[in-house]
Structure 1
Amino acid sequence: MALTRRPGADHCGIAAAMSVIDGKWKVSILWELNQRPRRFGELRRLVPGVSEKVLAAQLRELEADGTVHRKVHDEVPPRVEYSLTPLGQDLNAALEPLGAWGAKHLLDDTA
């Protein structure tokens, strides 16, 4: 699966990737979904500070970008689970070095 081209994001790969993770909470959401599929309420608790409205909007955007899959279970009450698609797993793998860099420099006062 390929990313949908967005205006201004097609001139380089970094811009294309940044257009997918441009929300304040998206990287945290992707990280939590990398651990295992999660329900909405669980994500709300695991990503402190995000409002219900913003979480729903960012999940919709990640789903539209093809990085997150939303599965509705046919139950009463309905149960919705979010998980990473292969594209989302690939994006998380690309973010790992960035996280390592941040952790290194967060702890290293000399850098």
Structure 2
Amino acid sequence: MIAHYVPARMSGFMMGAYYVATGVSQYLGSAVANFARMPSNDLGSLQSLPLYMKLFFGLGWVAAGGAAVAVILLPLLNRLSREHRRCVEAVRRGTDPFPPPKPAPVR
């Protein structure tokens, strides 16, 4: 997918950025797992229930916020993807993907 949207000269850099982002996400996953750790070994399921409820309620709000941001950005991402496809098709046809703007009519 990365090779689809970046020039060939930048594909190595973008793959490196992808792997860095994957590493950061795994580190954040371990931080979330540490939040789920029990304070002592002798807690029963009823005593640990409020701790897990608080954790998963917070994670649910973070997920809902991320989904809201994604829905808000969806029209922009669709427009950028359509523009990218238009430019790729123009280059394949051998035409200028960015033609000069038409002059404004004189009044």
Structures share a fold, TM > 0.5?
Answer: no
Scaled by the length of structure 2, what TM-score is found? 0.30
> 1 or 2, which has the higher strand percentage?
1
Scaled by the length of structure 1, what TM-score is found? 0.30
- Choose 1 or 2 for highest CA Rg: 2
Greater RCO (CA < 8 Å, at least 6 residues apart): 1
